[in-house]
Structure 1
Amino acid sequence: MSTTTGRAHGNAKYHLEKCRCPICCKAARDYENNRYRAIAYGRWQPFVDAEPVRQHVRALGEFGIGWIRAAKLAGVSTGGVSKLLYGDRPRGLEPSRRVRPETALKLLAVEPTLDNLGDRTAIDGTGTRRRLQALVAMGWTQSELARRMQMNRANFGKTIVSELVEVATFKTVRRLYDELWRTDPVAAGVPEHRATAARQIAVSRGWAPVGAWDDEQLDDPEAWPDWTGWCGTPKGRSIHYRIKVPVCAPCRQAASQQTAPDHKEAA
């Protein structure tokens, strides 16, 4: 299972690997503040300071968006971005000190979104894991999902539990989930006994089903699945027992908070 990329703590690690350490949080804040200031400044100045733009282009490089790709995404000349970063070496000129505001704004508008990131860029695997596990909980076998993803079965086995995945893998899984989450696997050709076995595997490993997730929660590492419709409340724990699903952390916490005053009085 992949757990690290060796990526240094900073803005890229904050966004791509969801690291929330003080170093990454500060780097993300500094990056956004720099970008917003530069955009505001560039709206009215005839020429603007090149340094914030240069920092932004270099920051994009940490996300795997090289300066040539950044120039193409922005719709500006690669020659101009080269001079912004490196100067004109044959002529012995230093990197640009000022740039036109329209050039600055176009480059600053390029953000490290999934559509802009390179396919091989490693990102947090939370949403990928949850989508694949939810499909298995429906009865989709891992072999069938691997086949539909055109992925080796052994690699699929790593992907379904991996902490980090490549952007291309995330996009493939997202498309597959959107295609299958409302489709009965047996009706689609998965043998009944194999679908039942897949569901049993999901239960034994605590993999949440599709219905436990809201769409906006799937990619949020801080979100918990709502197994019962009452998870996070005292009522949730009893429903867990009734449906024979291990009690989730929010339900354990809610039950603990409910009984805590009684313990205190007894003491």
Structure 2
Amino acid sequence: MRADRTAAAPVIEHVRHLITQRPHLPVAAIARHAGVASSTLKSLLDDTRHDQHQSRTVHLAIAQRLLSVKAADLPCRERGYGGQSTDATPAMRHVQALLATYPALSQASVARAAGMSPSTLAAALHDVAAGRPRRIQQAAAQQLLILDPDLLLSTALARRSDTTDLQQVIDHLHALQLRYDRASRAFIAHTAGVRPSTLSCALLDHTRNPRRGIHTAIAQRILALKDLPAPACPRRTQITDTGLLRRLRALCTAGWTLKNIGAAGGISTKTLTAFAGRPRSTPALRGAILAAWEELSHQPGPSPTARQRAQVKGWAPPLAWDNETIDDPAALPSGIRNPSHQSPWNPDLLHHELTFLTHLGLSKTQALKRLGLGTGRARQILGHTTLTA
């Protein structure tokens, strides 16, 4: 074992004891109080589920920080999770001096070392610099005033021996999301047997410090994923945002509300509403709309209001599109007469539209209604004395 490493088992047992003493406190809060990245602490605890903590080691500085945390030091529900506050000015002046003297230090690393959230420290620094009064928790102020910058720098610049480069994991995640619709990071993490929060924290830490890695065991689980199960589905490259918007509008024309469509696709109504206003899709949204289209496009919906509103807006129904045209931005719906089209009906045009719509399964009466024509007018255009319904 390296000189700067120590066994992780005692550290894990101590953290588990802290969790039992403060069961309502998030693990991330314990990590912040100890000045440790939450992804590091979560990966330590995750190893207890896989019986790997007996052989795992941890950086000596991290172990010392975690072992120094006492249950009495942590926020408590009975005390309102608050604690005594104090004027933030002396601590903020000290932090400003540290950041000026040690450019390699980041605000986020300083905040975590003092048990604060980066946003809280940033807000306090901003207020003090602007001359506005600001108070912070007394315990956090004391931690900031006694920070050891050399220890912070050594922890920030050193990569643990049990971690690997995170960039290869990020590249693999992107590749999976390009191959599969409905493949969110959370779904990929669940499939790999990794906590989504652990992966999210690792990615966040990577944006703050690209030198930080990810635990080797976690990286191996994600990199081992070659194929994803349902509800992820192979991505169809020909699907366009225009085609997705047409599908969404067509389902509304058939009488389906956004709530119905979201329930069928497994996505929120809020997300569909945002997409309808600004058509920019994600893999999850693409998969949701395609799944709803497959389930709902061949049957009428329950909402006459949705149907009426869609028709007023001139949206084309599902039968007006086919798989070859719906994703082509230049294509026009078939079987729908454009009200702005000034050319009069003629026998050839009407015969073409009736043939198309009847091949789709509509009766001639239904087709004429879709085209906005009555039976008498159709007979006049076609020159027929009779028109079979």
TM-score, normalising length: structure 1 = 0.38
Query: Which of structures 1 and 2 has the larger relative contact order (alpha carbons within 8 angstroms, sep 6+)?
Result: 1
